[in-house]
Amino acid sequence: MSEWEPKIVSFLCNWCSYGAADLAGVSRMQYAPNIRVVRIPCTGRMSPKFALAALREGADAVWVSG
Amino acid sequence: MVTFKINGQTVQGEEGQYIKQVADKYGVDIPTLCHHKALEPAGMCRICTVELFDGRRSRFVTACNYPIWDGMEVQTDSESVHEGRKLIVELLLARCPEVPLLQELAAKYGIDKPRFKAEDDTCILCGLCVRMCEKMGNSAIALTGRGVEMKVDTPFHLQTDVCLACGACASVCPTGHITLEKIREEITRKGNVQLIPSEYDMGLKGRKPVYVPYAQAVPNTPAIDRDVCVHFKTGGCKVCVEFCGVDAIDHTMEDEVVELEVGSIILAPGFQPFDPSKFDAYNYANHPNVITSMEMERLLSASGPTGGHLVRLSDHKEPKKVAWFQCVGSRDLNRCDNSYCSSVCCMYAIKEAVIAKEHAGDDLDCAIFYMDMRTHGKDFERFYNNAQDKGVRFLRSRVHTIDPVKDSDEVSVRYVDDAGNLQQEQFDMIVLSIGLETSPEVVEMAKRLDIELTPGNFCKTDTFEPVATSKPGIYVCGAFQGPKDIPQSVVDASAAASAAGEILAGARNTATRKPEVVPQTNVIGERPRVGVFVCRCGINIAGVVDVPSVAEYAATLPYVEFAADNLYSCSQDTQDNMSQIIKQKKLNRVVVAACTPKTHEPLFQETLLKAGLNKYLFEMANIRNHDSWVHKNNPELATKKAKDLVRMAVTKVALAQPLEETELQVNPTALVIGGGIAGMTAARSLAQQGYETHIVERGEQLGGQAHNLYKTISGDLVADKLGALIGDVSSHPKIQVHLNTQLSAVDGFVGNFKSTLSNNGNQQEIEHGVAVVATGGAALQTDEYGCGQDPRIMTSLELDKMMMADDPALARAKSAVFIQCVGSREPQRPYCSRVCCTHSIDNALELKKRNPEMNVYILYRDIRTYGEREYIYKEAREKGVIFIRYNLAQKPEVALVDGKVQITVTDHVLGIPLQIDADLLTLATAVIPNKDDALANFFKVPLNDDGFFVEKHAKLGPSEFATDGVFLCGLAHYPKPIDEAIVQGRAAASRAVTLLARETVHTSGQVAQVDPMMCSSCGVCVSICPYSAPSFIDADARMHAGKAQVNPVLCKGCGLCVASCRSGAIHLKGFDNNQIFAQISAVNWD
Amino acid sequence: MMKNLLEFMGVEPDRIHFSWISSAESTKFVEVVNKITAKVKAIGPNQRFVKQAAKVA
């Protein structure tokens, strides 16, 4: 790989941030291609275990957004 | 079919195609400056030159216009091709050294400085503009002159009438040689060379003739604006047709007249914002920094022309001082004809000021110039108070003129402050808070329909029938009924629907068509067989992401049996095809890699159902909104990301299980709690639409607070109309009235409630599907201002009683005083009671009518006669009612001196105390809710700090609760006059009917489920759930006594209980731990 | 709390981020993505706490 690109596992609330991500697409905004989105029904679903699992599986960072 | 080779690769093209077309199809890049997909190629720029080997020798041809033939061999990137292109770029750069595009190309081909003599042209004579103009059906410009004299020009270099100023030439010019300024100054004689103003952005931005009005428009398909589309002017163009991948554009379509037979009509034509350009003194038409509030909305919006960055329009610099002018086009008979109040402007101006401060920082100075601050809506007064705390300045003054400041972009205003001193201030921007008015087209429509209008051109309605027009069967809602805000419009809309529903109840479900149900295949226990469909979405995805390689990659993933790509996965034929493939390949899990599940999941789930698969055996990978659209400049990483997303979806879907949606019967019975005007209206509407209704009233008669009211502002006696309504309700065969009754217990959930009614110790249980809360309110009892110490001092309702009884004291009185805001808008009750200003003014007018000689005073803080109620405020002033303003720090004082009721108030103009002796002192006391904690607890619905119930959504769900099946209306929601209580009563019934009419409710499959073997009965889930879905199984139950269970009907699938369950006993179906872990783990397999 | 735990385990705090974005705030979404990406790039690849098997493979 030419340059190291981090992978950021992102847990996005279906109703909030996931919608914002969709809208960012519709508006053709450009951003860094490093996030990988896991859609969750609500940030209430988020468990610390998920964050730990992601880091353990080799993700470079975790982002939780409601 | 023609077969030949490009760079050694065998390719195929159609007879008559050119090399470049085939190369594009196979993804081979050939640079060009003069090629456009919609135009015939011309071979002008020569950059697309490639090397052609015809079997005997090599030669150079232009790829854009050289036709293909069998057996030819093309090299697009050989050393000699490269050399040739380099020379062409060098020559072009010498001609046009300042063109950025050529500078970039030069850098790419390693040209430092051209060896040839530099000129200062910007045109490369590619002729695209000329060909485009011809395509437009016009030919206003051409390549003129010969040799070195050649240039793009109009005939004889004269400005021409032929040019339509459509701008097509500028849009295709690769170098930026042609600009709109150039078209305006050198080419066209037509004056209107400008962008097409975007309606959505209030003209602050341009739009195309083919456009989607705004991102959230429904339907979200582009429309062609025939008024500006060149095709409809010249018959040419049709460029859009060449670009549409699915042949959806048909310019020959014509407007159709469709005739419908309907039983009722609802008018919701809305309003038009007032146009302030006719106010010369405000300079709106001339000064860029005087804008309307609608333009301000767009400037503050994240999707607006500046992305939410607040700038003044003259120079796009951030403003330091912004002022709002209220009542522009409202409450004004001098400069326009709108004497009504537009109701919404005070609140939106405060909102804009607060948001402007949020966007631009606290240093931004925001000043609002107003006459009366009218924040009479729910929670609006709190917002007003907060805005003052945040430093928004409120200046009570109507400014006459806005003066431009010489040699500056600022404007200057002069106003008189509260103390009566003349002030002068400069602002960077003035926002005109424009009012609402009915458009001339709507007035015209009203004439055609033969319905009556009010003096303000709104639809005329009656207090007791606020959504019915003067013509039976035609109903009205929204701002055409009267200027109003979103919540009130939403309430209106539901009410109009129920009014129409009542007369059409018999026709319900007579025109329904039911879809065919395909039996579901049982896939439990089968090994997953995943099908992956990768969507190209035309070029939306495929233009960035390498779709075929994603599909190929998907085929290599575990359990994937089938993978392919589609041009448009959502098109009808692709859907049918997918359904076939699912059946043929016996797929039992499906992944669609396309756009967002938020819009398209239901569509694809439908396809699964048609193929006999459970709809939860499905997953989407969002490779458009989250990938191709946002990583346009990075195709490589975007493709990688698409593969990651597909892999995550595949691993998740492999673990998906078919989920069941339970169907529950809805008991077609309603319970209305509260027998006031709102409750009775709701009950009557429900019964009229055919549903059994129980109405529970704790008092001994129906009617509630309306019994205390004398008349409506239109002059009708309340008692008459109320009597008719009570008669309707009492005699309706479908309504059971329970007087002297209260609710003592509620059990169950949406569709299946069981409530216990208690009447003098007698218990009765009734079953019902929905409940309407209409528990009402009351007038505040107070001892302030000597209330209770003298018969001459009374509350507003007591004055109404005196009027009803025709009390002789009224005739004897020589002076009457009203004190407003008694107990409202004070720290312990920071809300406006909404009804008191109108009520007091109406009573003041009644006193004046009975005795024109009487001196009538109204002591107020802000007069809030919103909407067309403003007329009576005007009338009261004309009839000599004296209005004296006081402020909270200096409230009036009341004393009983020598048998007189003496009121002292400091006049705001004179600044000195005034003494008035009153024979009647009326206190406009606050409206307080009948706070009912027990009821709130029964239905698990919240109360706010003031004791009013909290609706589902302040704007969009004002007449219902977050708890399914429970609805809200009347004073229990917020203080409101009779007409609004009636509208909301209807609205609550309307919302309830949407549920009752369905007859059954479906639970979602994606709900939480408790494994009772793991449950430790700790109760965290029961207390944490916002929807009260988990509960304990009865202690004496046969199975799993005392363990938690989740009611799938109430569960919204948020997963809060799942994450908080310390025993790991709760699973969220469709988003289970193993599925999320699988997704997490799949992120990093590479 | 979560951040403290991770720090205790030797994971840099910048590896976990929380934010609240409404569905209309696409601009904020983009800002947050770019901010987080920049922060993570600054601290480099995650090496601690990664499953051993993953390293071997």
Q: Model confidence over B168-185: pLDDT tens digits?
A: 999 999 999 999 888 888
Class of domain B273-437: alpha beta
CA separation for the pair B547, B542 (Å, rounded) = 6
Interface probe with B: pick from A38, A46, A49, A55, most Cβ of B within 10 Å = A38
**Bridge pairing between strands B530-535 and B560-566:** parallel
B934-958: average pLDDT = 92
- Report the half-sphere exposure of B535 (CA within 13 A, side-chain side): 26
Q: Which residues of B73-101 are buried (b: 16+ CB within 10 A; e: fewer)?
A: ebbbeeeebeebbbebbbebbbbbbebee
Mean pLDDT, chain B, rounded, equals 93
B102-117: average pLDDT = 90
Contact list, A53 vs chain B (CB under 8 Å): 1077, 1080-1081
CA separation for the pair B846, B872 (Å, rounded) = 11
Q: Which of B216-225, B919-928, B975-984 has the lowest mean pLDDT?
A: B216-225
Q: Does B1060 touch chain C (CB under 8 A)?
A: no
Centre a 10 Å sphere on the Cβ of residue B465 and count the other Cβ atoms it contains.
15
A34-48: average pLDDT = 90
Residues near B512 by beta carbon (within 8 Å), at least 6 away in sequence: none
CA separation for the pair B220, B950 (Å, rounded) = 33
pTM for this prediction: 0.83
Report CA-CA distances (Å) from B623 to A31, A36, B586, B963. Answer: 14, 11, 26, 36
> What is the SS3 assignment for B322?
strand
Residue B116 · residue B90 · CB < 8 Å: yes
B530-654 is classed in which CATH architecture?
3-Layer(aba) Sandwich (3.40)
Q: Does A13 touch chain B (CB under 8 A)?
A: no
**Bridge pairing between strands B223-224 and B210-211:** antiparallel
Q: Does B629 touch chain C (CB under 8 A)?
A: no
Q: Model confidence over B827-869: pLDDT tens digits?
A: 999 999 999 999 999 999 999 999 999 999 999 999 999 999 9
For residue B739, with 0-12 CB atoms within 10 Å meaning exposed, 13-18 middle and 19 or more buried, which class applies?
middle
Q: Does B548 touch chain C (CB under 8 A)?
A: no
pLDDT at C56 exceeding the cut of 60: no
Looking at residue C2, its pLDDT comes to: 61
Percent of chain B residues past pLDDT 90, beyond the cut: 78
Structure tokens that stand for B1077 in this block: 């872990």
CA B452 to chain CA centroid, Å, is 30
* Distance between B1084 CA and the closest CA of chain A, angstroms: 6
Interface probe with A: pick from C9, C30, C31, C47, most Cβ of A within 10 Å = C30
Q: Helix B836-850 to helix B870-878 angle, to the nearest 10 degrees?
A: 40
Q: Helix B293-300 to helix B345-360 angle, to the nearest 10 degrees?
A: 30
Q: Does C26 touch chain B (CB under 8 A)?
A: yes
Residue B647 · residue B557 · CB < 8 Å: yes
Closest CB to A59: pick one of B215, B1006, B1083: B1083
Residues near B881 by beta carbon (within 8 Å), at least 6 away in sequence: B841, B844, B845, B848, B856, B857, B858
Contact list, B303 vs chain C (CB under 8 Å): 24, 26
Q: Model confidence over B448-473: pLDDT tens digits?
A: 999 999 999 999 999 999 999 999 99
Contact list, A28 vs chain B (CB under 8 Å): 629-630, 632
CA separation for the pair B484, C37 (Å, rounded) = 45
Residues near B733 by beta carbon (within 8 Å), at least 6 away in sequence: none
Looking at residue B831, its pLDDT comes to: 98
Q: Where are the domains of chain B?
A: 2-108, 128-243, 273-437, 440-506, 530-654, 665-778+944-1001, 780-928, 1003-1083
CA B390 to chain CA centroid, Å, is 27
Contact list, B307 vs chain C (CB under 8 Å): 27
Looking at residue B662, its pLDDT comes to: 84
Q: Model confidence over B526-536: pLDDT tens digits?
A: 999 999 999 99
Query: Which is higher by pLDDT, B434 or B139?
Result: B434
* Distance between C25 CA and the closest CA of chain B, angstroms: 7
With an 8 Å Cβ cutoff, are A21 and C24 in contact?
A: no
Q: Which residue of C has its CA nearest to B306?
A: C27
Cα diameter, chain B? 127
The total number of structural domains in chain C stands at 1
Assigned CATH topology for domain B780-928:
FAD/NAD(P)-binding domain (3.50.50)
- Report the half-sphere exposure of B386 (CA within 13 A, side-chain side): 13
Torsion of CA B88, B94, B99, B103, to 10 degrees: 60
With an 8 Å Cβ cutoff, are A63 and C36 in contact?
A: yes
A36-47: average pLDDT = 90
Most confident range, picked from B67-81, B412-426, B468-482, B504-518: B468-482
Structure tokens that stand for B226 in this block: 């025939």
Closest CB to C27: pick one of B302, B630, B1084: B302
With an 8 Å Cβ cutoff, are C54 and B1084 in contact?
A: yes
Q: Do domains B665-778+944-1001 and B780-928 have the same CATH topology?
A: yes
B37-61: average pLDDT = 91
- From B371, B291, B368, B366, select the one nearest B327 (Cα to Cα): B371
Closest CB to B1059: pick one of A7, A29, A46: A46
Looking at residue C6, its pLDDT comes to: 66
Q: Model confidence over B507-521: pLDDT tens digits?
A: 888 888 887 888 888
DSSP assignment of B474-527: EEE-GGGTSS--HHHHHHHHHHHHHHHHHHHGGGTTSS---PPPPPPPP-TTSP
* Chains in contact with A, counting 3 or more C-beta pairs less than 8 Å apart as contact: B, C
Q: What is the CATH number of domain B665-778+944-1001?
A: 3.50.50.60
CA separation for the pair B651, B639 (Å, rounded) = 18
pLDDT at B1026 exceeding the cut of 70: yes
* Distance between B566 CA and the closest CA of chain A, angstroms: 21
B625-651: average pLDDT = 93
B1010-1018: average pLDDT = 93
Range of the domain at C17: 2-56
Closest CB to B637: pick one of A5, A19, A28: A5
CA separation for the pair B806, B901 (Å, rounded) = 22
Looking at residue B1085, its pLDDT comes to: 64
User: Token pair 């949606």 is at which residue?
Assistant: B661
With an 8 Å Cβ cutoff, are B625 and A57 in contact?
A: no
* Chains in contact with C, counting 3 or more C-beta pairs less than 8 Å apart as contact: A, B
CA B571 to chain CA centroid, Å, is 27
pLDDT at B339 exceeding the cut of 90: yes
With an 8 Å Cβ cutoff, are B302 and C54 in contact?
A: no
**If you count residue pairs, one on A and one on B, with CB atoms under 8 Å apart, how many are there?**
111
Q: Model confidence over B689-740: pLDDT tens digits?
A: 999 999 999 999 999 999 999 999 989 999 999 999 999 999 999 999 999 9
With an 8 Å Cβ cutoff, are C21 and A20 in contact?
A: yes
Q: Does A22 touch chain B (CB under 8 A)?
A: yes
Residues near B441 by beta carbon (within 8 Å), at least 6 away in sequence: B269
Query: Which is higher by pLDDT, C22 or B71?
Result: B71
Report CA-CA distances (Å) from B646 to A36, B539, B627, B955, C19. Answer: 11, 19, 12, 38, 25
pLDDT at B681 exceeding the cut of 80: yes
Looking at residue B7, its pLDDT comes to: 92
Contact list, A42 vs chain B (CB under 8 Å): 1053-1056
Q: Model confidence over B154-166: pLDDT tens digits?
A: 988 888 888 988 8
Assigned CATH topology for domain B1003-1083:
Alpha-Beta Plaits (3.30.70)
Q: Which residue of C has its CA nearest to B631?
A: C30
Q: Which residue of A has its CA nearest to B647?
A: A36
With an 8 Å Cβ cutoff, are C26 and B308 in contact?
A: no
Residue B756 · residue B764 · CB < 8 Å: yes
Residue B501 · residue B990 · CB < 8 Å: yes
Q: Does C37 touch chain B (CB under 8 A)?
A: no
Q: Model confidence over A15-33: pLDDT tens digits?
A: 889 988 988 888 888 999 9
Chain C positions contacting chain A at CB under 8 Å are 2, 5-6, 11, 14-30, 32-34, 36-41, 44-46, 49-51, 54
* Distance between C27 CA and the closest CA of chain B, angstroms: 7
Closest CB to A41: pick one of B645, B1053, B1081: B1053
With an 8 Å Cβ cutoff, are B638 and A33 in contact?
A: yes
Q: Which residue of C has its CA nearest to A47?
A: C2
ipTM exceeding cut-off 0.85 for this assembly: yes
With an 8 Å Cβ cutoff, are B307 and C26 in contact?
A: no
For residue B871, with 0-12 CB atoms within 10 Å meaning exposed, 13-18 middle and 19 or more buried, which class applies?
middle
The shares of helix, strand and coil residues in chain A, as percent rounded to the nearest 5, are: 35, 25, 40
Residue B670 · residue B691 · CB < 8 Å: yes
Q: Which CATH number fits domain B2-108: 3.10.20.740, 3.40.50.1780, 3.40.190.290, 3.30.56.10?
A: 3.10.20.740
Closest CB to A41: pick one of B645, B1006, B1083: B1006
Sign of CA dihedral B91, B95, B98, B100: negative
- From B759, B333, B20, B1080, select the one nearest A59 (Cα to Cα): B1080
CA separation for the pair B829, B840 (Å, rounded) = 20
Residues recorded for chain B: 1086
Q: Which of the four pLDDT bands, split at 50, 70 and 90, describes residue C49? A: low
**If you count residue pairs, one on B and one on C, with CB atoms under 8 Å apart, how many are there?**
11
With an 8 Å Cβ cutoff, are B307 and C27 in contact?
A: yes
Report CA-CA distances (Å) from B870 to B434, B817, B841. Answer: 17, 20, 10
Evaluate the omega torsion of the peptide bond into residue B929 and state whether it is cis, within 30 degrees of 0.
no
